[in-house]
Structure 1
Amino acid sequence: MGDYAILIVDDDDGDRKMITRLLSRTGLGLVIEEARSTEELSSIETEHLDAVFLDYLLPGASGLNVLSKVRSRWPQAAVFMITGQGDEDLAKSAIQLGAADYISKASINGAALERMLKTGVGAARMQWKLDEQRRDLATFSEVLVHDFKAPIRAVNYLVEQIAEDIEAGQMEDVQESLRLLQKSSRHMLETIKSLSDHIRFDREEVFTDIAGSDLIDQALNALSQDLAEAGAVIDLDQVDATSRIYCRAPQIAQVLQNLIANATKFSRDGPPEISLRLESGPNGHLFEVSDRGIGIAKDQTERIFEPFKRAPGTTGIAGTGLGLATCKKVVLRHGGRIWCRSEPGKGTQIAFELPYGPGCAAEDRSRVG
């Protein structure tokens, strides 16, 4: 995805237009949004930004204070502080607070902006990857400490119990202990797989143009045995078979697999009933997985996307709490967004939207106007 998603925050209309005009002349692929104040900044809905050009003096706010808010909301973005005054102390403060670069308005030209974008965005992306690797290492350690204590103790106990039962000739007890041993072993394997899925998305994969229905088929095929055992009923009537998605296909197929697996796992009494939807919206391709399961309380619909956060009422259901965190991680890396709507006892809908890409934009945008 070659486009740079850029936000310009400046209360001066002329300065915003100048920066926009100079950026458009760089020859880089750009998607530009603008804001004139901190109030307008709060209304920006874009989940992913590559760069922010931030004016130091905004109405009623200091650019350095706003810088911290911008860095918190868009941690992957390179933030460039701009001002009408060339102040080295200000530049130092901006860099210390996480700005990628600093430039006075008198020094702004097309070449400078292009250099800042290429260098700053590249450095910001590299820093984000390093930070994410550190977070994943912390996740790995936490899983090993937290999720492996109980099954390892269980395995040790069962091995000792089996040895005693064999010595005593109690083969029926041995069979039961073996069954429990296999259960503990499966739990550890599932934990390792979940952790591996969460971490392996650090590796870049090539973006390709693929039919959205093929992604859904891949997910359903991977889950075919689980769906058959659960007697799941899958409704595909709302899947637009003509949609083509520009994405890292294995990762999006894994997202769909995780969401369908959750819909199966958290069903209520009776076979799971799952509806899949794929359509082209004004901002991108919309995927939705809906079920009629146990549901989630409204105050939990955002927390479930955090690592190790599981909704109340799911105790006793297998899982590490990493599945939805991994889904969010993948969707955000595609420049998309993911959200949840749910009602306890009535079901859950988890949807995600992916932006249009080079292989599909013309065809799909013509259908959605």
Structure 2
Amino acid sequence: MNTATDISRALADRAEAFCRSWLPAGRKIGNYWIVGNKHGDPGRSLVIRLTPSAGRQPGKWVDHATGEHGDLLDILEERLASPSWGDVFSEARRFLGRPDPVPSLRRANRQSPSVSDRPTAARKLLAIGRPVHSTLAERYLRLRGIARFGSALRYHHAVYYRDGADRTRQLPALLAAITDNDGQVTGCARTWLDPATARVAAIAEPKRLIGHLAGNAVRFYHGPAGGELVAGEGIETMLSIGTAFPVVDICACLTATHLGQFIPPPHLKRLWIARDNDDAGERAATLLRQRAEALGIAVFDLVPQRNDFNDDLRADGLTALRVRLRTAFENARCGTRARAWK
């Protein structure tokens, strides 16, 4: 049992025991284990199949809040404090009650940079990318009604990914630089694209990141950072707001979990939380609001009519989205001024 596929299948055969051990905040409902996310938080967004059903394999999961999906090795990678893939495989074998192979055999087919190397790997990937203008990445964004881009975005025509048979493949990808409040690149978000349709590729986990995201974000600033910022979840969601207001500073935290973990810049005076219109987004906004208000930052919510602001942009058009957002901005500012005069 030396390959990632072998280990993943063995974990899937014990999916319920795995979930009870590694995701104890969840609960079993029918043939599924329900939990908040792959970090093991309470909630109902992530669903793991426990036994085979209608030809579908156990151990597979999907997070309905983020669109991510994977197998139990991916969960284990997230849950370990400092995982390299060697650590992940070793812990999986420990759980399964099977000894590690001798060191020369521990190089399993599935490999990933160690945690300390991941920001470096992210920077290298971004460095070989090119600006998105006149690329498949620009076509993808424009198909979603987006017309604001930025230096955080890059494109590469052949980025590696692992397919369902654990084979290494390549596809074009939209790349996005994840940075901290000092502007240091801590990671890279990758969205693999279908070159025939310019849409998200039909592969397992078409959106993944490498590096450190907690507390950080993909940022789109118009000039030097100012005193106001709009923070939300997905890149497409935030660029939809940026398309409506090209000079507004925005940032994408990529998931609801990481929106809740975002660390506001120290200079900030007003923070707009552009959450998704679901339970996970509401919880994330509450957490971020508490953190920001403790820092003396005025906080306002922006909630889309549909699931997210890109859905609103595509369904209602740019003018309607701009009017709704402008009304929300102006009402909040008027309320702030009124309270200041009391």
Structure with the higher helix share, 1 or 2: 1
TM tier, smaller: under 0.3
Task: Give the alignment's TM-score, normalised by structure 1.
Answer: 0.24
Task: Give the alignment's TM-score, normalised by structure 2.
Answer: 0.26
